[in-house]
Amino acid sequence: MLPMRPSPLIIALLILIPALGAQSAAARPPNVLFIAIDDQNDWIGPLGGHRLVKTPHLDRLAKRGTVFLNAHCQAPLCNPSRTSVLLGLRPTTTGIYGLAPSFRDLDTWRDRVALPEYFARHGYQTFSTGKIYHIVPATREQRAREFAVWGPAGGIGVKPEAKLIPPTPMGNHPLMDWGVFPHRDEDKGDHAVASWAIEQIRSAPRDKPIFLA
């Protein structure tokens, strides 16, 4: 019996099918997880650390990605810095330097496409939880423009019954009242935000990319 020779067509298909699969995977938009951290200093491990600060999760995350050692916020306050990221513009361009106004309240930026809206226009399902916009849009219609799905806002959560630190020489402002809260992690706003985000990632439809901030 003569040995069977593989058909050139079969050989071509065996070569072509994996290539098509690779092209399909490469063309599929990636899911995007955008994590915003409010008012953080450089005490985390990847930025040099501090002898009293342990950041094992951030350390592991940094090892899997790229750490920018000379990156700086556009502004030292929440609203102008977040506006800068969401619009891709410097505070000197937006004109926003303080905790108000929202950029949507200004005629110049009312119709400007912000970061989540850009993703939505390119086929992404968009989710928001925690503090992404410094000022959350007031109406349902306004919120729907920014994100399709809104989760818990986060915040401090349960507060101690009494002050943790006595009044300081600088006054009795809440910003000076820092300490370890006598509560479980589950009682805090950050836990609610993270738990909700995990659930959205697990339950999101597989046929559409997601942008979760």
pLDDT per residue of the chain (213 residues) written in tens, 0 to 9? 444 444 444 444 445 555 545 555 567 899 999 998 877 788 999 999 999 999 999 999 999 999 999 888 889 899 999 999 999 999 999 999 999 999 999 999 999 999 999 999 999 999 999 999 888 888 889 999 999 999 998 888 887 777 666 766 766 666 666 667 778 889 889 999 999 999 999 999 889 999 999
Query: Is-catalytic flag, 73?
Result: no
Q: Would 3 be classed as within a structural domain?
A: no
Q: Would 58 be classed as within a structural domain?
A: no
CB 108 within 8 A of CB 100: no
Regarding whether 124 and 93 lie in a shared domain, the answer is no
Regarding whether 206 and 118 lie in a shared domain, the answer is yes
Query: Is-catalytic flag, 78?
Result: yes
Catalytic residue among 50, 72, 73, 78: 78
Regarding whether 101 and 151 lie in a shared domain, the answer is no
- Position 136 scores a pLDDT of 84
Please give the residue range of the domain that contains residue 167.
Answer: 29-35+114-213
Helix, strand, or coil (residue 119): helix
Regarding whether 122 and 181 lie in a shared domain, the answer is yes
- Position 164 scores a pLDDT of 65
CA angle 201, 204, 207 (to 5 degrees): 130
Q: Would 179 be classed as within a structural domain?
A: yes
Regarding whether 124 and 210 lie in a shared domain, the answer is yes
Q: How many domains does the chain have?
A: 2
Catalytic residue among 57, 72, 73, 134: 134
Amino acid at 123: G
Q: Would 158 be classed as within a structural domain?
A: yes
- Position 79 scores a pLDDT of 93
Give 188's contacts (C-beta < 8 A, 6+ positions apart).
156, 157, 158, 181
Regarding whether 101 and 190 lie in a shared domain, the answer is no
Q: Would 51 be classed as within a structural domain?
A: no
- Position 159 scores a pLDDT of 78
Query: 74: closest CA among 62, 86, 56?
Result: 86
